Amino acid sequence: MTDLLKNPVFQDEAKAREWLEARVWPEGPTCPHCGNADEDKIRSLQGKAHRPGLYQCAECREQFTVTVKTVFERSKIPLSKWLAALFLMTASKKGISAHQAHRMLGISYKSTWFMMHRLREAMRSGGLEPLGGRGKDVEADETYFGKAEVLHVSPKRKGRPYTKRGKIFNNRPILALVERGGSVRSFHVAVADQATVCKIVRENVDSETKMHTDESKLYSKALMGVSRHRRVKHTAGEYVRGDVTTNTVESYFSVFKRGMRGTYQHCSEKHLHRYLAEFDFRHNNRIALGVNDTMRAENLAEGIVGKRLTYRRPDQA
Ligand SMILES: [Zn+2]
């Protein structure tokens, strides 16, 4: 891991910029303001008067660099450090803590922490094709991780909180959808009720899919809108019946929980969805799908476009 950081891309700003340009613009520079990609209408601005890597678009007359409209935009941290953080996060099997990354990168803990959250944002896979399809199996399951910061009250219980075995139950629910031999998508939801869960399935899973769940009432075939739905009866000690099982999604949850406890320990509720994005990204770019460390870093670099975090902390990063 330490050797990895000896790559010139992580020392030299010009090399870092060239590496990123090759990922973001495989066909040559594209203006992020108007979308112009005509090489005759984009001029590289060189010389001492300009920042390195600056281009001028003849179509909209705006100037740009490769970091405009990406998670790296307007950051004071050198691009080479961003790329080093990106490689550290994508090469580690279980994730890397901000403390460890800060020591390896030689930049402040606060800046490292913020940079890593921006990179997690780049790992989010929004607006993709639905999971599953004809002849494909998708498993859905929910789990709970950590205590919710806001006490959720049940409308059906006249405003009283949810309880489990007589005690107040206020853990953070997570729903995950895993296609066998394919990708995972996980969600932190405020409350895991039937309407919320089925809506997420409807929006993220192809209707021709065969769905696998446990016997929980959260999963209604009609509300999920899938052609086939099979259940295993965990309460009766049944975990596998033929090909009906939720073992894939359960093993995803155990990787997530082990990783969170081992590496990240404290995770506030408002950031939980970003940690989920990181574990989803690692699962979706795994060796078994033919993705090696370099390809994983490249896939993340391609995901930085248009993922600028909406909140900013000017004192950090
Ligand atoms: Zn333009």
* pLDDT of residue 80 exceeding 50: yes
Q: Residue 252: what pLDDT?
A: 96
Q: How confident is the model at residue 266 (pLDDT cuts 50, 70, 90)?
A: confident
d(CA 211, CA 213) in angstroms, rounded, equals: 7
Question: For residue range 124-143, what is the model confidence (pLDDT) as tens digits?
Answer: 876 678 999 999 999 999 99
d(CA 28, CA 39) in angstroms, rounded, equals: 7
Compute φ and ψ for 182, nearest 5 degrees.
-140, -135
Ligand 1 mean position, distance from CA 122 (Å): 24
Ligand 1 mean position, distance from CA 59 (Å): 5
Residues with CB under 5 A from ligand 1 (ion): 31, 33-34, 36, 57, 59-60
Ligand 1 mean position, distance from CA 36 (Å): 5
* 9: three-class secondary structure by DSSP: helix
Ligand 1 mean position, distance from CA 91 (Å): 35
How large a percentage of the chain has pLDDT more than 70? 94
Average pLDDT (70-97) is 90
Its pTM stands at 0.86
- Per the prediction, the chain carries an average pLDDT of 88
Question: For residue range 22-35, what is the model confidence (pLDDT) as tens digits?
Answer: 988 989 999 999 99
**Distance between first and last Cα of the chain:** 24
Ligand 1 mean position, distance from CA 35 (Å): 6
| Strand-pair category, 228-232 with 210-214 | parallel
Question: For residue range 271-312, what is the model confidence (pLDDT) as tens digits?
Answer: 999 999 999 999 999 999 999 988 999 889 887 875 544 433
Q: Residue 302: what pLDDT?
A: 82
Average pLDDT (259-263) is 90
